[in-house]
Amino acid sequence: MPVQESPKVSDTADDVVTWRTDERVQVVRMHRPPANALGLPMVEGLQRALDAFESSDSKVLVIVSDLDGFFAAGADIKLMAGYVEQGDLASFSAYGDGLRGALSRLHGLDRPSIAAIEGLALGGGMELALACTMRVGSTKARLGLPESKIGLIPGAGGTQRLSRLVGRARALDLMLTARDVAAPEAHALGLLDRLVEPGRAEAEATELARLLCDRSGAALTEIMRCVDDADDLPLDQGLAREAMRVNTLFSGAQAREGLTAFIEKRRPNYV
């Protein structure tokens, strides 16, 4: 499959979000110096990258940073401070809605997404990582939600997604203290799924993405939905959804291909 380059995006500052697709993995790059603040240009760029992903036949999305030492350091504090100075609640609310919308859209994809984290992922940057299906971090990564230091709370999904990922007690510890954690602790807590040597996060995330591309896309989608059900539904309802989905998959072409390939001792070809 030929490599596809993202178009120039005229309404994002300095093309702060770009992407390319190679072998059904779309790699999204953030480049907004000095720290990839998730301001309006970044939010718009992420939305456009998601547009491209959803309209493509790519199977996995990988999000990386082009800035040394930063995945994304958080929301755009200067922008928010301006809203505070002007007493402009409407603009602050609209900005929050835009950021939440992009991250909710990322979290709701029917295909896996992976954050490759080198350096700091703080505030909105950590919320961006939490919205991904999986997170790969180098030993130099640090993650945290420091919003209580500035009189706010994590407002782009942090209070909800962190609690679901690591549990109530650990989530409260991180958010109430506003402390950030080094990569080994983040891995132990379950914030990072894979821990790698410095400079290896993107390579590991891409390798993981290529592995997922060899799996049944339909099965990956239903696994993600079933795991989400486990967070939101009582056990009996979750089990009922699981049974419904496995029965639906069994009647589909990808299960037929997978079972046939297993019997024939060959690699399945999932279209």
Catalytic residue among 118, 127, 204, 222: 127
**Residue 219: burial class (beta carbons within 10 Å; 0-12, 13-18, 19+):** middle
Catalytic residue among 5, 44, 118, 147: 147
How many Cα neighbours within 13 Å face the side chain of 182?
4
Separation between Cα atoms, residue 123 and residue 184, nearest integer Å: 19
**Residue 127: burial class (beta carbons within 10 Å; 0-12, 13-18, 19+):** buried
Annotated active-site residue 222? The verdict is no
Annotated active-site residue 127? The verdict is yes
How many Cα neighbours within 13 Å face the side chain of 118?
18
Residue 159: φ, ψ to 5°: -65, -30
How big is the CA angle at 39 (ends 34 and 45), to the nearest 5 degrees? 95
State yes or no: cis peptide before 154, omega within 30 of 0. no
Catalytic residues: 127, 147
